[in-house]
């Protein structure tokens, strides 16, 4: 949080007011009367996160109906952004006074909930007090920043260890999941994901197969094509993995949940979940789908030899727009030179080019 001027507890503080109704204009006027002049109003909550990064508010006043499911989700999204930067208090004005609604909002990250219709003066005073508290916390921010860095390091370490557990029977050194993480981050950057999300997917992608911990070795390590019944069991690793990661407040594990659940979906809807296709598939899942298959094909598996980069790219291009997101495939093609420059990304030698590719079973 930016340092406040000595002339008042709110001088210089940035306040982002989100939503309509709830006498927003009256609230803005009351905030000004309290000396809180740097106020930005965003009527549409869907555009809030875009303004959030540019404005860098010290506090968010969310004027919306707290009974709608979108509001707790929006609070969670604000809290997720703040997790990777400085903590930003969220004050919610809610029309719904039920205790379970207030509890849910507070659990998702709101620091205060004001029942609506709100008194603008009360909102301004609560906002001022939260900013004053933020000013006190700012004096100790260096210590908090160190603690947040340590927490992030612990989160990354936990994610790495979870990925290692899932992969240990296939790759005892976790080489596959780490390569998938690095390649996913490379592709994410090329398709335009934010720097923050690129950093998150680097450590979330290795969790894609966490659900395989529940798959019997006789199926997981079978050196031959799976039967239909065995294939159904193998497919269950996506839903198992998503359940294992569900409910976390960690950005890495939250993205890992989506990746575990959706990394076997197909662009044309013929993946593990019938009907889920195109951009309905979360982008992290579409990215990891390409990275996972690329790595599986270019390295030896129990049922196949390692393919060359050329063989792999040719096959992926042959199913572009059917199995994979075309934009992610294009990002892979743009990354080929960078991939080829690092030997660990491809096990096969160039001499193997031209060998007839084997069926894809991964």
Can you tell me the distance from the alpha carbon of 108 to that of 289, in angstroms, rounded to the nearest whole number?
30
Q: What is the DSSP letter of 41?
A: E
Helices (H), the chain: 24-33, 48-55, 70-83, 99-108, 120-138, 141-167, 175-190, 195-204, 217-220, 228-235, 237-245, 251-262, 283-297, 309-318, 326-334, 336-340
Q: Cα separation of 31 and 59, whole Å?
A: 12
User: Which tokens go with 360?
Assistant: 């894809």
* Chain-centre distance for alpha carbon 104: 21
**Is 277 exposed, middle or buried (CB count within 10 Å of its CB: 0-12, 13-18, 19+)?**
middle
Report the catalytic residues: 212
Q: What's the CA gap between 32 and 38, in Å, rounded?
A: 8
Residues in the chain: 362
In this structure, are residues 302 and 223 in contact, taking their beta carbons and an 8 Å threshold?
yes
- As a whole number of angstroms, the distance between CA 287 and CA 325 comes to 8
């Amino acid at each position: 949080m930016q340092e406040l001027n000595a002339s008042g507890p709110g001088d210089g503080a940035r306040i982002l007011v989100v939503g309509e109704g709830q006498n927003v204009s009256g609230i803005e006027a009351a905030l000004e009367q309290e000396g809180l002049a740097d106020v930005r109003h965003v009527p549409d909550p869907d555009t809030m996160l875009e303004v959030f990064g540019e404005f860098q508010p010290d506090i968010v006043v969310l004027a919306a109906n707290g009974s709608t499911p979108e509001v707790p989700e929006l609070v969670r999204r604000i809290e997720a952004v703040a997790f990777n930067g400085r903590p930003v208090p969220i004050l919610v004005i809610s029309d719904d006074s039920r205790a379970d609604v207030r509890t849910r909002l507070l659990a998702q990250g709101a620091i205060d909930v004001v029942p609506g219709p709100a008194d603008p003066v009360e909102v301004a005073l609560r906002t001022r007090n939260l900013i004053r508290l933020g000013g006190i916390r700012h004096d100790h921010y260096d210590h908090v920043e160190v603690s947040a860095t340590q927490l992030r390091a612990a989160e990354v370490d936990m994610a790495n260890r979870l990925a290692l557990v899932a992969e240990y029977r296939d790759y005892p050194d976790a080489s596959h999941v780490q390569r998938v993480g690095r390649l996913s981050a490379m592709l994410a950057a090329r398709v335009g994901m934010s720097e923050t999300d690129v950093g998150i997917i680097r450590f979330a992608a290795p969790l894609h197969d966490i659900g395989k911990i529940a798959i019997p070795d006789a199926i997981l390590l079978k050196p031959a094509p799976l039967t239909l019944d065995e294939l159904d069991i193998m497919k269950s690793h996506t839903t198992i993995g998503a359940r294992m990661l569900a409910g976390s407040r960690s950005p890495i594990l939250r993205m890992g949940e989506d990746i575990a659940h959706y990394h076997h979906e197909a662009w044309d809807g013929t993946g593990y979940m019938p009907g889920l296709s195109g951009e309905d598939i979360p982008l992290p899942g579409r990215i990891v789908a390409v990275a996972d298959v690329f790595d599986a094909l270019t390295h030896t598996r129990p049922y196949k030899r390692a393919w060359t980069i050329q063989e792999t790219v040719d096959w992926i291009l042959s199913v572009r727009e059917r199995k994979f997101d075309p934009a992610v495939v294009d990002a892979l093609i743009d990354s080929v030179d960078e991939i080829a420059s690092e030997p660990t990304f491809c096990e096969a030698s160039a001499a193997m080019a031209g060998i007839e590719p084997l069926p894809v079973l991964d």
